[in-house]
Amino acid sequence: MKLPETTGALSRFKSTFIGDRTFYKTVFVLILPLIVQNAISHFVNLLDNVMIGLVGTPQMSGVAIANQLIFVFNLTVFGGLSGAGIFGAQFFGAKDHEGLRYTVRFKLWTAAVTFLAAVFVFLTFGDKLISIYLTGEGDAVERAAMLEYGRNYLRIMLWGLFPFALSQVYGGTLREMGETVLPMKASLAGVLTNLSLNYLLIYGKLGFPALGVEGAAIATVIARFVELLIIALYTQRNSLRYPFAEGLYKSIRIPKSLILKIVRKGMPLLVNELLWSLGMTTVTQMLSTRGLNVVAGLNITSTVTNMFNVVVFSMGAAIAAMVGQALGANDIKRAKQTAWRLIFFNVCTCIVVGGVLAALSPVIPYIYNTTDDVRQLATRFMLTNALYLSINAVAHCAYFTIRSGGKTFATFLFDSVFTWVIFVPYCYLLTHFTSLDILILYPVCYAADLVKCIIGIAIVKAGKWAQNMVAVPAEKNQLEPADAV
């Protein structure tokens, strides 16, 4: 009679992985605006991609390559702001508005420095960086056209890098406070602006010039400024609701002790996101050596799959907010319990979302004006991504769980060190020393994510990541004014 043991195991499972109604209500309040925001944003990116693709495959591929480089900048901004974000979520959980204001000032400095570095790199090495994606088999004229379109797109997009970074400063801070509606509204305004201007400027409608790829870049830059104006102006004008905004720009003052803490915790995150994004673009470059058609197929796949990844990415933000606030309130047990419940919820959701992606993968490529070969490649790539979606969900949630407790060196080892020590060399060996067809090579390369998933579960289970970093000892205030700069 093992029924009591079975019942006990089921009870422990529910206690660990299943939350109550209040828990899921909190989760949905956090993630639904993010899902809506990201889904619409990625849907507009899909339409943008299709619009450019209707002009021609070389235009679509050139823009896709330029966006690979911009992807590195975007992830570097995210990593640079994440260290301060860990403290921001915990300061908010501890109701320390001044501490939160200091973290926002740190983010502003980080955004400015990252922007200047990116402009220098793209202006100096842009052509060379684009060219490394054009080494596969294909027509030389088509290759030259891709380079030209990518160059023109990238140089216009430089104007949108700083408003993007500044929007991330405000949006990330608001999400750390549990406020997701305003960032969603700002993002929606931006994507609708982008979509409208794409139609006008790519094809030359309503008297506007037909600018093609350049029109798509101009539309995106204008949309970035629209999003920034909405989120920044509303936040600054409602300082009672968002206390960190009061006096934010009256001083550049940040306590030295806090700067050192954020740098110590945040530098691994910045380096991590930079190296991880470089690792992903390096793998894409390796795969692109199998032909110019592969470049187009990968572009379609990444654009479409990003729409289905919104649940994964949104759950990461929920972990950062809910687990971070629990740690800031010194409720370690609740933080651990919340992490496991969110991971399980994300996996269950991604099983369903992955099924939908798999069902639609044979149909979606036909909305593109491209060759049947490219469509078939995109379909098979998307089926692989659908299969791995839940695995990626575990790894993504594990990353944010570890990060929420300030274990940033552990996240560095888990993410970018894994990428460069295992994933990139593994893919290099497969692409350069085997003759595997791309349809076999692609899923075999990404099978390495299984190892990362297992490592992530082990780290979260160990529980050493759960720590409160903003508790101030009674005998000494760690943010003394004398320490400020």
Q: Where are the alpha helices (DSSP H) in 289-370?
A: 292-308, 310-328, 332-360
> Which of 405, 104, 74, 70 lies closest to 243 in space, CA to CA?
104
> What contacts 224, CB < 8 A, 6 or more positions away?
160, 163, 164, 167, 190
Tokens 């003759």 appear where? 435
State the maximum Cα–Cα separation within the chain, in Å, rounded to a whole number.
80
- Highest mean pLDDT, choosing among 87-91, 93-97, 211-215, 267-271: 211-215
User: How is residue 336 written in tokens?
Assistant: 């651990």
Q: What is the mean pLDDT of the chain?
A: 83
Beta-bridge partners for 484: 255
In a domain, 144, yes or no: yes
- Coil, strand or helix at 91: helix
Q: Examine the pLDDT at 472 and tell me if it is beyond 80.
A: no
Give residue-wise pLDDT tens across range 448-470.
999 999 998 998 888 888 777 66
User: How is residue 302 written in tokens?
Assistant: 């990444």
Q: Examine the pLDDT at 125 and tell me if it is beyond 60.
A: yes
pLDDT at residue 419, as a whole number: 92
Q: Examine the pLDDT at 1 and tell me if it is beyond 60.
A: no
Which has more confidence, 326 or 158?
158
Segment among 226-235, 345-354, 408-417, 421-430 with least mean pLDDT: 408-417
Give the amino acid at 67.
N
What's the domain range around 367? 18-468
Give residue-wise pLDDT tens across range 190-213.
888 988 998 899 989 888 998 888
Q: Examine the pLDDT at 11 and tell me if it is beyond 80.
A: no
In a domain, 317, yes or no: yes
CA torsion angle 165 167 172 178 (round to 10): 180
> Which of 409, 403, 297, 314 lies closest to 353 in space, CA to CA?
314
Beta-bridge partners for 255: 484
Give the amino acid at 95.
K
Give residue-wise pLDDT tens across range 296-335.
888 889 888 888 888 777 787 778 778 877 887 777 888 8
In a domain, 10, yes or no: no
Query: What size, in residues, is the chain?
Result: 485
Q: How many domains does the chain have?
A: 1
pLDDT at residue 477, as a whole number: 46
The whole-number average pLDDT for the span 236-248 is 85
CA distance 290 to 288: 5
pLDDT at residue 101, as a whole number: 86
In a domain, 13, yes or no: no
In a domain, 95, yes or no: yes
- Coil, strand or helix at 255: strand
Give residue-wise pLDDT tens across range 21-48.
888 888 887 778 777 767 776 776 677 7
What does the DSSP 8-state code read for residue 471?
P
Q: What are phi and psi of 317, to 5 degrees?
A: -65, -35
CA distances from 270 to 82, 263, 274, 321, 411 (A): 8, 10, 6, 19, 11
pLDDT band (50, 70, 90) for residue 422: very high
In a domain, 483, yes or no: no
Percent of residues in the chain assigned helix, strand, coil, to nearest 5:
80, 0, 20
In a domain, 6, yes or no: no
pLDDT at residue 130, as a whole number: 87
The whole-number average pLDDT for the span 233-245 is 87
Instruction: Determine contact, residues 60/367, Cβ cutoff 8 Å.
Output: no
206 backbone φψ class: left, alpha, beta (φ>0; ψ -120 to 50): left
pLDDT band (50, 70, 90) for residue 476: very low
> Which of 296, 449, 453 lies closest to 371 in space, CA to CA?
296
pLDDT at residue 420, as a whole number: 93
CA distance 151 to 143: 12
pLDDT at residue 96, as a whole number: 79
Give the amino acid at 301.
T
pLDDT band (50, 70, 90) for residue 241: confident
Burial 121-149 (b: 16+ CB within 10 A, else e): ebeeebeebbeebbebebeeebbebbbbb
> Which of 199, 245, 244 lies closest to 218 in space, CA to CA?
199
Q: Examine the pLDDT at 4 and tell me if it is beyond 70.
A: no
pLDDT at residue 431, as a whole number: 92
Q: What are phi and psi of 255, to 5 degrees?
A: -60, 135
pLDDT at residue 485, as a whole number: 40
> Which of 269, 292, 285 lies closest to 424 in space, CA to CA?
285
The whole-number average pLDDT for the span 436-448 is 93
Sign of CA dihedral 137, 141, 145, 151: positive
In a domain, 11, yes or no: no
